[in-house]
Chains A and B, each alone.
Chain A
């Protein structure tokens, strides 16, 4: 499992005077998901373009499955699946015909191609829509077909470039569960996203890109630790209790904050054991609570914090 399926070392990419990537390095072990997180223009898509052999790095080295993307482009292409912003399907063909087309191009016989297409359509719950033209597909169906198209050749490495951008929440969830299943069988995935919850949910580790540089990397938990905004919020039963509750919590060494006339008091804490302190203080002050919640920092917080410290 120590085999690195993607290795990027000190890659730069310039478009004329603009530097889209400025010394990017990261590695993805086999069978894991790396979330490449960043806003528009951070360089995520440029990274995918280079790794999928669509464009050449200006300098530096990139390897996929141990193969150099510049020198062994042809071999790399045999091992990758590309989906997302870059790659699309043919709208004028049916879902089935699209997958057959790709399988045929990869060398499958007619029978093999049809079998593979049916297998994938089934996996992506597209069997009913298979004979219909892609033009009439919903956004979620189209993304699923797009993903299926990238999987026809059973690639070792998959690039998912912003796979859920523009999808409604339920379609996003559907796609996520498909990706989960995929990783389960050992496929290595590079996922680019602007959605922090997506990286949090799907990725084993996260690399944060900003203006063409890696500004942080680690697991979601590590990144959250670095920012450390854990908090507890309590919801009061009665707004009249608020001054009493605030006094009691402050006496317990906490710093509750609340909105004007709000029933909710929020305070930063070190870890979940502080929950007990909050409950005890409220209880002793005779304040009745309607709700209690502990929250981890969201990746939004992490991203904001890192971006502020990383942007010079």
Chain B
């Protein structure tokens, strides 16, 4: 520095020091505003399209590759493979949706948006509730698109009719919602984006293939069948599938919904607590 820079004079005693401009908002407003923020993606086809196309692509692949499964002896007679497969797809897509909630939260915890919210006079839980609502609504849209595509393109039309399929979708949505909280709790606890995605992806993969999603559990080798039978995903899939195929089992459905509810009751406080602590 070869020039003399004297610090410019500052006004030390202002006539009107600033005071908070707005009076604060209620939890309801916070949740609507924050979920509205996450739902903005719906306005952008470029953001929504991959999420919609991926399951449809998977549906195409699986319905063709595993079609022969419907000729095996363990397969329920008189059921078309697409009718058997789609309810499972509703469930697995919802699990992915739940995982996405966690991943998105981790990303925002790391890029600083969450810190901004946390330094604002709003309830920290609103951030999580807002995300949960938005992601659940996005999942609903996704499942509706899947059902429509399956019906129009692949000739999906199970015994349970429209009501049965909607029931199956509802089970899937509830499952995705509760897993969303589980993954958000994990995300707030782990904090690192690089860990949640692979862990979640791996768990998802194991749960998916060691289940009755694509083939009846009876058709699996003994050890895998044992895993598939205790796999909670199998139960959710069974509940959804029975509904779609017009043969609902109230016990399985209730058990699935109850599990989801318990999961939410346990993970919501955990998620909010870890989230509040994480910086």
Contacts and interface: CB of A to CB of B under 8 A. Distances in A.
Interface in A129-174: 149-150, 152-156
Contacts of B15: 186
A186 B5 contact: no
B10 A87 contact: no
Given A156-B19, A186-B18, A107 B1 contact: no
Contact of A108 (B12, B22, B112, B118): B22
B33 A31 contact: no
Contacts of A150: 116
Contacts, number: 151
A88 B116 contact: yes
Interface in B110-135: 111-113, 115-122
Listed residue (B20, B25, B279) with the most chain A CB atoms within 10 angstroms of its CB? B20
Contacts of B73: none
A103 B22 contact: yes
B22 A153 contact: yes
B20 A54 contact: no
B22 A112 contact: yes
Interface string B240-279: 0000000000000000000000000000000000000001
B10 A204 contact: yes
Contact of A31 (B4, B7, B12, B117): B12
A225 B275 CA distance: 47
Interface stretch (A71-79, A239-247, A278-286): A71-79
Interface string B1-30: 111110110111111111111111100011
Interface stretch (A209-217, A293-301, A303-311): A293-301
Contacts of B2: 233, 293-295
Contact of B20 (A85, A112, A154, A180): A154
A86 B21 contact: no
A294 B2 CA distance: 6
A220 B14 CA distance: 23
A255 interface: no
Contact of B113 (A32, A49, A90): A90
Contacts of B112: 85-88
B119 A54 contact: yes
Nearest to A97: B40
A96 interface: no
A101 B20 CA distance: 17
Interface in B34-72: 34, 37, 40-41, 47
Nearest to A297: B1
A44 interface: no
A154 B116 contact: no
B114 to A, nearest CB: 9
A218 to B, nearest CB: 13
A193 interface: no
Contact of B116 (A29, A78, A82, A93): A82
A262 B13 CA distance: 49
Contact of B122 (A33, A103, A105, A112): A105
A32 B17 CA distance: 12
Contacts of A185: 14, 16, 18
A92 B41 contact: yes
Interface string A174-207: 0000001001111100000000010011001000
A280 to B, nearest CB: 21
Interface string A105-135: 1111000100010000000000000000000
Given A153-B22, A154-B18, A186-B17, A101 B7 contact: no
A86 B37 contact: no
Interface string A35-62: 0000000000000010011110000000
B22 A107 contact: yes
Contacts of B25: 104-107
A80 interface: yes
Given A106-B25, A107-B24, A88 B111 contact: yes
A295 B1 contact: yes
A102 B37 CA distance: 11
A269 B249 CA distance: 94
Nearest to A299: B1
A30 B11 CA distance: 11
15 contacts: A1-B12, A53-B118, A53-B119, A78-B24, A85-B112, A86-B112, A87-B119, A88-B113, A92-B47, A105-B33, A154-B20, A233-B2, A295-B3, A295-B4, A298-B1
